[in-house]
C-alpha cells in the first residue's frame, strides 16, 4: 500500500480535505442523476460505491477520529448501505501507513532518540495501520515487541474533526441534531481517552491483570518505560486476525473455544469490573498458534455506572421484562421513556423497546446459545431497519451509555456470528445484588 508522507494536521488543512470530499460526493450525485435520466431503473448501488470510496479515501488520509468513525459505522452493519460497510471495514485492518521520516520524527519528539537508539532492531515498515496509530515490529534483549505509534495531530484534532464529520453523519445516519450531538459528545470523550497512550498503558496493565485467570485469553506484557504520550511498547503476540483464522477452515470445536473465550472476556468485564473493552472490532484480537484469544488493544474502555447497569441488566437477565410496570420504570430510568410522554407514547415506546430487549437478551436467557443461526441476526437487523424509518425514533432516546454498551454487545454478537460459535452464556451472570 502506498505510504503517506504527511497528514493534514491544522484545522484549515483538515477542513479543506472535508470540503474537497463534499465536492466529490456532490459530483457523484450529479453523475448518478444524469445517468438516471437515461435509465430510470438504475439503483443507487454505483452512487453508494462511489461515495463510499471517496469518503473512505478522505477519512483514511485524515486518520484519527475521522477514520475511527468509519470503523464504528462499519460495525453497525444495519445502518449503512452494503458498499459503505464493505469499504469502511478496511479501516478495521489497514489504512495508508506513515512514511519512515514521519515515524522517526515522532520518536525524536517523544523520546529525543530515534527508534534504532531505543531498540536492538526496528522495522520501519508497519505491520498494520489503523485509525489512531500504526504498529511496528521491534526487538530488544531477545524479545519481540509490538510498537504502536500514534499519528501526528490525532489527539489535537478530535473536536474539530467531529464537527467536520457531522454533515456526513447526518446524511448517513439520518439522526436528529440533538441525538447526533449526544452521540458525538460520547464519541469525543472515548476518542480523547484513546489518544492518551499513557492512560492506555495503565488500563491495559490493570485489565490484563484483572482478566488473567480467564480460560484461553492472553495479553501482551506492556513496558511503561518504553512508552509515552504517543508511543506504546508491548510484547508481540503471534497469531491470526479473525478473517485470516476463518480462512484456515477451523473445526467447530475450535470456533466454540475461541467464541467462549470472547464471551467470557466481555461478560467478566461487564459484570465483575463494570467497565468493558468497548472496541470489539476483529482487528483488536489475534488467535494464537496454541489456540488462545490474544487481546492486543485496550484503548477504548467504557465504564458502566450503577444508574445504568442495574436497570439495563435487570431487563435482560431477570423476569422484570415480564412485569409491565417494572419494565416501564426501568425504561424511565434509562431515559427510553420520557417524563413528558403521553399515555399513547408510553405504550408505543414500551412495546417497541420491549421487542428490542427481548431480542437482544436471547443469548442471556438460555445457558448456551448458537450464534451461527442467521434467523437471530436477521431479526436484529430487521428491527434496526424498522425503527430507523420510524419518525418516533428521530428524537434522542436513551442515556448516552447505550452508545458504547450497545456497540460493545452487538460487536461481540457479530464476531461470534462470524465464528459460528456455540457458547455457554451462563459463565458470568449480571450481578444485580446491590449489597
What tens digit of pLDDT does each residue of 46-75 get? 545 555 555 545 555 544 445 555 444 444
Q: What tens digit of pLDDT does each residue of 140-187 get?
A: 999 999 999 987 777 766 666 666 666 655 555 555 666 667 767 777
> What residues make up the domain containing 59?
11-95
340 is a domain residue: yes
Band (pLDDT 50/70/90 cuts) for residue 402 is: confident
> Binning pLDDT at 50, 70 and 90, where does residue 9 land?
very low
Residue 253 counted as domain residue: yes
- β-pairing verdict for 293-295 and 285-287: antiparallel
Whether 210 maps to a domain, the answer reads no
Q: How many domains does the chain have?
A: 2
User: Per-residue confidence at 86, pLDDT binned at 50, 70, 90?
Assistant: very low
What single-letter DSSP state applies at residue 374?
H
pLDDT category, 79, cuts 50, 70, 90? very low
- For residue range 108-123, what is the model confidence (pLDDT) as tens digits? 988 999 999 999 999 9
d(CA 431, CA 179): 30
Residue whose C-alpha is closest to residue 267's, from 71, 33, 425: 425
Instruction: Please tell me the pTM assigned to this model.
Output: 0.76
User: In the chain, what is the straight-line distance between the N-terminal and C-terminal CA atoms, in Å?
Assistant: 55
pLDDT 10s digits, 211-227: 999 999 999 999 999 99
3-class DSSP state of 128 = strand
More confident site: 321 or 154: 321
Q: Which three cell numbers stand for residue 256?
A: 466454540
> Which grid cell sits at 71?
470503523
Q: Does 30 have pLDDT greater than 70?
A: no
Work out the pLDDT band at 389, boundaries 50, 70, 90.
confident
- Give domain status of residue 60, yes or no: yes
The pLDDT value given to residue 175: 56
* Lowest-confidence segment of 71-75, 225-229, 347-351, 398-402 by average pLDDT: 71-75
- Identify whether 154 is part of a domain: no
Residue range 387-410: mean pLDDT, rounded: 79
Tell whether 70 is covered by a domain.
yes
For residue 125, pLDDT beyond 70: yes
For residue 326, is pLDDT > 50? yes
Boundary (domain end) residue, out of 28, 60, 95: 95
Contact present, 293 and 255 (Cβ < 8 Å): no
Domain boundary pick from 53, 71, 95: 95
pLDDT, position 81: 42
Of 61, 80, 95, which residue sits at a domain end?
95
| Whole-number pLDDT of residue 61 | 53
Residue 351 has pLDDT above 80, yes or no: yes
Specify the range with the lowest mean pLDDT, choosing from 128-132, 193-197, 309-313, 361-365.
128-132
Query: What percent of the chain shows pLDDT beyond 90?
Result: 44
Residue 219 included in any domain = no
**Closest Cα to residue 59, out of 74, 47, 46?**
74
In a domain, 384, yes or no: yes
Amino acid at each position: 500500500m502506498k505510504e503517506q508522507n504527511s497528514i493534514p494536521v491544522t484545522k484549515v488543512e483538515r477542513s479543506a480535505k472535508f470540503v474537497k470530499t463534499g465536492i466529490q460526493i456532490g459530483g457523484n450525485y450529479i453523475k448518478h442523476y444524469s445517468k438516471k435520466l437515461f435509465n430510470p431503473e438504475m439503483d443507487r448501488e454505483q452512487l453508494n460505491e462511489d461515495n463510499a470510496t471517496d469518503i473512505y479515501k478522505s477519512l483514511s488520509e485524515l486518520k484519527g477520529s475521522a477514520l475511527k468513525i468509519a470503523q464504528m459505522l462499519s460495525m453497525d452493519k444495519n445502518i449503512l448501505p452494503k458498499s459503505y460497510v464493505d469499504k469502511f471495514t478496511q479501516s478495521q485492518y489497514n489504512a495508508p501507513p506513515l512514511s519512515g521520516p514521519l515515524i522517526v520524527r515522532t520518536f525524536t519528539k517523544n523520546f529525543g532518540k530515534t527508534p534504532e537508539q531505543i531498540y536492538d532492531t526496528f522495522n520501519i515498515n508497519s505491520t498494520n495501520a489503523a485509525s489512531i496509530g500504526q504498529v511496528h515490529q521491534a526487538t530488544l534483549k531477545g524479545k519481540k515487541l509490538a510498537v504502536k505509534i500514534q499519528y501526528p495531530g490525532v489527539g489535537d484534532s478530535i473536536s474539530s474533526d467531529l464537527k467536520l464529520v457531522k454533515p456526513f453523519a447526518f446524511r448517513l445516519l439520518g439522526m436528529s441534531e440533538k441525538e447526533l450531538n449526544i452521540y458525538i459528545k460520547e464519541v469525543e470523550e472515548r476518542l480523547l481517552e484513546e489518544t492518551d497512550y499513557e492512560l492506555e498503558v495503565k488500563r491495559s496493565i490493570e485489565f490484563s491483570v484483572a482478566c488473567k485467570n480467564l480460560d484461553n485469553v492472553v495479553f501482551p506484557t506492556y513496558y511503561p518505560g518504553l512508552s509515552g504520550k504517543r508511543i506504546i511498547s508491548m510484547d508481540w503476540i503471534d497469531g491470526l486476525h479473525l478473517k485470516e483464522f476463518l480462512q484456515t477452515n477451523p473445526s467447530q470445536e475450535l470456533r466454540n473455544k475461541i467464541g467462549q473465550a470472547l464471551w467470557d472476556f466481555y461478560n467478566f468485564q461487564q459484570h465483575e469490573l463494570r467497565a468493558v473493552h468497548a472496541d470489539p472490532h476483529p482487528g483488536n484480537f489475534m488467535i494464537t498458534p496454541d489456540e488462545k484469544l490474544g487481546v492486543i488493544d485496550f484503548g477504548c474502555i467504557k465504564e458502566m455506572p450503577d444508574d445504568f447497569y442495574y436497570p439495563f441488566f435487570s431487563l435482560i437477565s431477570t423476569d422484570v421484562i415480564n412485569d409491565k410496570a417494572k419494565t416501564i420504570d426501568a425504561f424511565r430510568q434509562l431515559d427510553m421513556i420520557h417524563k413528558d410522554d403521553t399515555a399513547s407514547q408510553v405504550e408505543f415506546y414500551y412495546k417497541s423497546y420491549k421487542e428490542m430487549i427481548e431480542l437482544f437478551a436471547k443469548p442471556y436467557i438460555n445457558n448456551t446459545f448458537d450464534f451461527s443461526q442467521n434467523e437471530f441476526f436477521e431479526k436484529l437487523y430487521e428491527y434496526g431497519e424498522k425503527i430507523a424509518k420510524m419518525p418516533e425514533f428521530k428524537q434522542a432516546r436513551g442515556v448516552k451509555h447505550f452508545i458504547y454498551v450497545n456497540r460493545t454487545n452487538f460487536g461481540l454478537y457479530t464476531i461470534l456470528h462470524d465464528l459460528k460459535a456455540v457458547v455457554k452464556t451462563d459463565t458470568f451472570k449480571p450481578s444485580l445484588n446491590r449489597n
